[in-house]
Structure formats: C-alpha cells, structure tokens
Structure 1
C-alpha cells in the first residue's frame, strides 16, 4: 500500500512539475491571409484584370514564443514568413530575396530593463511609416508605403524594404508612454568594415495621441558595397521621419513628414515627402483616405503624388472585407490606377 501511495505521489508531483514548466513557456502559431480581385494599370504600364495577393496586408504565418526565466525576465522569439496566397510560393510578390522566414526571425530577452533581440528584424523607419498612415503596411493601396519602398525616378528608401538582416535591436521600457529604441545591422562581409545600417527612434503614445521621430542611416542595401548598383555613385542614404496620429470619436487623423538625403558622388539629392490621412467610422466599418506627395531636389528634380480611398467592413473580430482605389502619378510618367476588393482574415 505504501509503495502504491509513493508511486501515486511521484506521478502527481511529476504532473504538477510538467504543468508548472508549461505555464512558464508558450508557443503560438498565427498568421494572416489576404486576397483581392481588381483592375491594375501601373504608371507607364498596360492595364489588366488581376487576382491579387495581399491587397491590404501581405499574407504571412508565424511562430512566436516565450520562456519565463524568473525575476521578470523572459526569452522571446519570433519566426515569420511571407507567402503568396495566389500561387502558394514563399515571399512577397516582387521581392525575390524573401526566404522562409523573411518577415521576422529573431531571439532575445525582455524584462524590467527593456528588450534586446538579434536576427532578422524590421527597421524602426518601417514601423513608423506603417503606423502613421491609415492603410498600415499595404504595398498595394498605401501611398506612403509605395512612395517610400516602391520608388520611381530614383526616389525611395533603400535598405531592404521591411527587414534588416544581421541586426541587433534594443527597446527601453515605457515611461508614461515614452519609449526609446535603437537598431544596428552589420554588413557581415570582409573588407567592408564600414558597411552598416543603424537607426534610432523616440516614440510617445498616450490616450488618443501618438508621435514618433526616427533617424536612419544606411551604407548598404542588401549586401555590403551594393548601394552604387541602386543609384550610380550613391554611398550613403540618411532618412528622418516624423509621424503623428490623433484619435477622436468621429475621426482618426494621420500625418507624416520624411526627408531623405542621398549622398551621391556627382551631387547629393534630397527627397521631401508629406502624407496626410484619415479613418472615419461609418457604422461598424471605416472609410480610409490618404494622400502622399514627394519632391526631389538636386540634379534629379522630380515629383510624385499618390492618393487612395477605401471602405473596410469587419465581418467578425478576425475577418474583414474591403474595397479600395488608388491613383499614382509622377514626373514624365503616365498615371497609374489600381481598383480592387478583397477579403482578409487572421488566425
């Protein structure tokens, strides 16, 4: 009888230990799917009817997890990959460098002194760009995303769109809504010790008001020494971005100002970009609107103006339908137009 009681006690104890270990760590599978059908005519391009991928958000899936080390410190990790819902291929349309986990791939620690991570991490400028516009991170309908990361006539922010490889990142704890962040990316190539990317950000969020200031400097885009292949003679690109949003009961307003310095051997170029936007609740849905305007100064003086309107209607907490139109025009180019409607769901 005693042996049976001891064995039962051991089994119950092991069960409690296993449950305690499980409570201290967690892993979550999650993702998003977004498909649309529409009409697309690129600037200077031919019109077509398309079944599109990621009208509002590029589809992705991910695994994230934590392990509680005690004393308020946790290990955190995140692995996220883009995929094309129309073809099943990995990556985003038009980004051939995308790998299996090209949206996020990092591990780090978080606790009372902040968060530090290392790996493949989206840069601070990207977060500011998508946060302070009503179309968030859409590469189809967000004017500021298109002007910043799908540039024409030599305009645009380089450094690999939404992710930096070989990076380290730090975020301070929040002090009444005030947070400081810093990020550094290594070129990781012998003979190019000065090839790097770095960025700093100060953000504030309290109630319905939020703002952010970001500075970013890059000395390579994807691989050390490759900036000159993007613009001949380009050695360094620096960017400052100011974003602000204010939410009221009847409308949420967005604004951004961005200045890009391209240091080029035959003459520097500056690019000024302004964006305004709004989100107006209409019933349970929202009307979204945004306009972005860019103008270059220096030896390449060009402009670009992009606007978009959309109606977004939630079917549930995780699923919504949308319809949107975008107009895009630039110096010495015929106007582009995109019109579409789609379905987006999260899991």
Structure 2
C-alpha cells in the first residue's frame, strides 16, 4: 500500500512539475500578409498595372519563443521569414539574397540587466528609420525607407538592406524611458579582420514624445571587401540619424534628419536627408503623409524628393485596408509615380 501511494504521489508530482515547466516556456507562430493592386511607374522606367507585394509591409511569418530560467531572466529566440505574396516565393521583391529566415534569426537572453542576442538582426538605423515616419517599413510608399535603402544616383545606406549577418546586440534596461543600444557585426572572413559593422543608439520614449539618435559605421555590405563593388572606390560608410515624434492626439508629427559620409578614393561624398510626416485620425482611420528630400555634396551634386499620401482604415484589430499615392523625382531622371490600394492582415 505504501509503495502504491508513493508511486501515485510521484506521478502527481511529475505532472505538476511538467505543467509548471510548460507554463514557464512559450512558442508563438505569427505573421502578416499584405497585397495591393495599383499603377507603378518607377523613375526612368516604364509604367505598368500590377498586383503588388507588401504595399505597406513586406509579408512575413515568424516563430518566437521564450523560456524562464529563473531570477527574472529568460532565454529568447526569434525566426522570421519574408515571402512574396505575388507568387509564394521566399524573400522580398528585389532582394535576391534573402534566405529562409532573412528578417530575424537570433537567440539570446533578457532580464534585469537588459537584453543580449546573437545571429541575424536588423540594425539600429533601420529601426530608427521606420519608427519616425508614418509609413513605417514600407518599401513601396515610405519616402524615408526609399531614400535610405533604395537609393538612386549613388545615394543610400548600404549594409545588407536592413539585416546584419554575424551580429551581436545589447539593449540596456529602460531608465525612465531612456534606453541605450549597441550592435556589432563581424566580417567572418579570414584575412579581413578590419571588416566590420558597428552601431550605437540612445532612445527616449515617454508619454507623447519619442526621440532617437543613431550612429552607424560599415566597412562591408554583404561580404568582407565588397563595398568597392557597391560603389566604386568606397571603403567606409558612416551614418548619423536623428528622429523625433510627438502625438498631439488630433495629429501625430514625425521628423528625421540623416547625414551619410561615403569615404571614396576619388573624393568623399556627403548625403543629407530630411523627412517630415504626419498621421491624422479621421473617423476610425488615419490620413498619413510624408515628404523626404535628399541632396548629395562632394564631387557630384544630386537631389531626390519623394512625397506620399495615404488613407488607412481598420476593418478589425488585425486587418486594415489602405489607398496611397507616391511621387518620386531625382536629378537627371524622369519622375516616378505609384498609386495603389491594398489589404493587410496579421495572425
């Protein structure tokens, strides 16, 4: 009888322990789909009517999880993959180097002393760019994203179009809304010890006001020693970005200033970019507007001006519809126009 009672207690205890362990761990499948139909004429290109991919947000799915290991510390991981809703292919449109998990692929720890991760991680400059403009991370309608990551006439930010491979990242705890972040990416190529990327950020977010300043320096784009193939003679690119937003309830204002230094063998080039934007609540929806202007100085002087206007209407907490128009102009190039409407849903 004692043996039977002991075995029963052991089984009950094991079951309770399993329930507690399960409660301390979590895994979540999530994602977003975004498709739009519209008219597109790129600068110096021909016009077309398209069923497009990711008008407001590039579609993706992800798998994230955490495990509580005690003392207020958790092990975390995140795996995120882009996919093209036009044809079901992996990756974003126009980014042939996108791999299976090219949006995020990292593991790390988070707790009272901050968060540290390692893997494939979007850089701090990317987060500042998409946070302080009303169109977020849209590669179709966001003037800030287009100027920074789809540059023309030698303008633009290099370094793998938003994600850094071989990266380590740290974020401090929040001190009254103030957070410090740092990031480093290794070249991972024998004989190229000086090939690296690094970035630092200080951000503040409290109440209606938010701001961020980021500095980034890169000495390779995708692979060690390849900056010269991206822009002939380029050895190092440095970027400083300042972003701000203020929510007045009847309108939310956005602003950014960015300066890029391109260290080039035949003469350095500086690129200044300014962006202003707004989000105005109208009924249940929002009117979004943004304008970005970039000008290069150095051995070549070129400009680019892009503006966009949109109306975004929520159908539910997870689904919205939108209509948007974008105009794009640059030195020695014919103007570009994009007009479209789309549906975006999260799961």
Query: Which residue in 2 is equivalent to 1:275?
Result: 275
Q: How does 1:241-280 map to 2 (within 5 A)?
A: 241-280=241-280
User: Could you list the runs of 5+ residues in structure 1 that have no partner in the other structure?
Assistant: none
Aligned to 1:226: 226
Give the superposition deviation at 1:248: 1.1
Note if 1:120 corresponds to 2:120: yes
- 1:90 counterpart = 2:90: yes
Q: How does 1:30-41 map to 2 (within 5 A)?
A: 30-41=30-41
The 1-side partners of 2:254 and 2:12 are apart by: 56
Write out the 4+ residue segments of structure 1 that deviate beyond 3 Å after TM superposition.
1-8
- 2:25 corresponds to which residue? 25
Asked if 1:164 corresponds to 2:167, the answer is no
Q: Alignment RMSD, CA only?
A: 0.8
Q: Tell me the distance in 2 between the aligned counterparts of 1:66 and 1:275.
A: 37
In 2, distance between residues paired with 1:199 and 1:278? 28
Alignment of 1:72 with 2:36, yes or no, is: no
How much has 1:4 moved relative to structure 2?
Answer: 4.5
Question: By how many angstroms is 1:86 displaced?
Answer: 1.1
- Unaligned stretches of 5+ in structure 2? none
Compute the TM-score of the two structures, normalised by the length of structure 1: 0.99
Q: CA deviation at 1:5?
A: 3.8
TM-score calculated relative to the size of structure 2: 0.99
Counterpart-to-counterpart distance in 1, 2:10 and 2:170: 44
| 1:3 shift after superposition | 4.8
Deviation at 1:9, TM superposition (A): 2.5
Query: Residues of 2 paired with 1:15 and 1:63: CA distance?
Result: 27
Q: What is residue 286 of structure 1 aligned with on the other side?
A: 286
Q: Does 1:59 align with 2:59?
A: yes
Partner SS for 1:26: strand
| Cα distance in 1 for residues equivalent to 2:183 and 2:220 | 15
- What whole-Å deviation, never above 9, does each CA across 1:234-270 have from its counterpart, x for those lacking one? 0000000000000011000000000000000000000
The aligned counterpart of 2:209 is: 209
Instruction: Tell me, in whole angstroms, the C-alpha distance in 2 between the residues paired with 1:328 and 1:191.
Output: 42
Question: How many residues were matched structurally?
Answer: 347
Aligned pairs for 1:323-334 within 5 A: 323-334=323-334
- 1: distance between equivalents of 2:204 and 2:219? 28
